[in-house]
Amino acid sequence: MSTPESTVVHLMRHGEVHNPDGVLYGRLPGFRLSELGRAMAVEVAEHLAAHDIVHVVSSPLERAIETARPTADSHGLGIHVDGRLIEAGNFFEGKVVGVGDGVLRHPEYWSKLRDPFTPSWGEAYAAIAARMLGAIDAARDAARGHEALVVSHQLPVWTARSRLEGRRLWHDPRKRQCALASLTSLHYLGNELVSVVYSEPAATLVRDAAKKAGA
């Protein structure tokens, strides 16, 4: 019996976004990468330069496509767009969200927070997991025996990983292991997931930027 093919699907969160007003931008158009975000995308492309990337697919949002571009270009590939990779729907999209300084100080919005398990403020976690796993399977099939880069957003990436690793889908957002421009690499033998490896190739850039901002 032949050994199943080894395939890797790298789930990447997009880089930093230019968002001077600090809104929850969600699926809104026009939110592009910041200068740091573009540098992060290039850093990840350099990290993946020696990898066997044969397929690049992105969420339809600008920030994700911009993040995918350097890796696609370095491997001579186009970018496929998959709507299933889009950011999660959220009632608070376009608003500044905060208890003390945002919409959450207004009682009329509190009903949206009544059910953190579904959640009541946005797209159901189960729906996010289902569409993300469909997109991941499609990317794996397109890159059989090689590697694929899949660029999405923090909550969809974390929800997909939680489903694949058998964890509950509701969670504390502060505990997501999914930094900007991070890679959650899914290693398959055939269709069987055998390991998940998390890495942050652009972490040094982020630390240097934080030090510069605090200087």
Q: What separation in angstroms does the CA of 69 have from each of 6, 39, 40, 76?
A: 25, 12, 12, 10
Domain count, the chain: 1
Q: How much is the CA Rg of the chain, to the nearest whole Å?
A: 18
| β-strand pairing of 183-189 with 192-199 | antiparallel
pLDDT digits (tens, 9 = 90+) for 36-95: 999 999 999 999 999 999 999 999 999 999 999 999 999 999 999 999 999 998 877 878
**Structural domain of residue 55, as residue ranges?**
6-89+124-214
Among 61, 18, 60, smallest CA distance to 38 is for 18
The encoded tokens of residue 149 equal 């880069």
Q: What is the pLDDT of residues 176-203, one digit of tens each?
A: 999 999 999 999 999 999 999 999 999 9
Count of beta carbons in the 10 Å neighbourhood of residue 88: 23
Residue 207: inside a domain, yes or no? Answer: yes
Query: Is 72 inside a domain boundary?
Result: yes
Residue with the larger pLDDT of the pair 25 and 209: 25
Strands 183-189 and 6-13: antiparallel
CATH number at residue 62: 3.40.50.1240
Q: According to the model, what pLDDT value does residue 109 have? A: 60
What are 97-156's pLDDT values in tens digits? 765 556 566 666 656 677 777 887 789 999 999 999 999 999 999 999 999 999 999 999
